Amino acid sequence: MSFGGSSNVCWSIQLLPQIIINYRRHDTEGLQGSMMLLWAVAGVPLGVYNIVEEFNIALRIQPQILTTLSLLTWAQCLYYGKKYRIMKCCVAVTSLLLLLGGIEAGLIFALRAAKSRGLEWPLIVMAVLSACLLAAGVLRHYWDIYVHRTVRGISFIFVGIDAAGDLFSLVSVLFGSTIDVLGIIIYGTELTLWMGIFICGGVFNLRPWIKERSEQRDGNLQDPVSLHPMPSSTSVFRTASGSEVIGRRPWQSS
């Protein structure tokens, strides 16, 4: 499988772990709905850029999947977070899908015509806009991390898959027929931001969890009769929802 195909697979399933966790929790507290909306919109200029620049098929399909899954996750934020009715969520998602799809189709025809006339700046605008929107979506979580001093509401499985998709996309662009600097910037920026989320998870979620386990182990050695509740090892990189941040330690899973 090519790197472009690998990235497409990653981006096809990247939000599924997040969607599943939201469904199981019946809660999206801590997950930034604005991030999902920004990503949905980012899929438009990214799709226009990849299609007009005639990237491989995988990279052309990739932004369409990004927009669809982002809107589905955004709908969960509306349903679980803002308590919208299912019908209202469906109408909102369908309307946005049609609107964004129409805008993307129109821009593809317009920018192809511009490119045939030797105009390159419209494509540059699309590349910069998509990079800014993708980065802005991830940066929303950095603010939440700063405020709450924990990585909450977001699935690290989702983060890992998305980062892998960015990495494969980056390699695919690097090994293309021509090296596209703007493509490198788009995928490289988001990959860097996701790595930062992992680092924050290590600092605010994993390190306290390790410290807690060490303290509990020491307590067990001193008093072998007493029993201490131990968090599951699978909870290390699962983030707590906002409703549990006060009542539970931030490194414990929901």
pLDDT digits (tens, 9 = 90+) for 112-154: 999 999 888 998 899 889 888 888 888 888 888 888 888 887 8
**Closest-CA residue to 172 (of 46, 42, 6):** 6
pLDDT greater at residue 78 or residue 242: 78
The Cα–Cα gap between 189 and 132 comes to 9
pLDDT digits (tens, 9 = 90+) for 153-184: 788 888 888 888 888 878 877 776 667 777 78
Highest mean pLDDT among 144-148, 179-183, 226-230, 246-250: 144-148
Highest mean pLDDT among 4-8, 20-24, 71-75, 181-185: 71-75
Band (pLDDT 50/70/90 cuts) for residue 3 is low
CB 125 within 8 A of CB 179: no
CB-based contacts of 114, cutoff 8 Å, min separation 6:
122, 123
Q: What is the pLDDT of residue 79?
A: 95
The Cα–Cα gap between 207 and 213 comes to 10
Domain locations in the chain?
4-214
Q: By three-state DSSP, how is residue 93 classified?
A: helix
DSSP 226: S
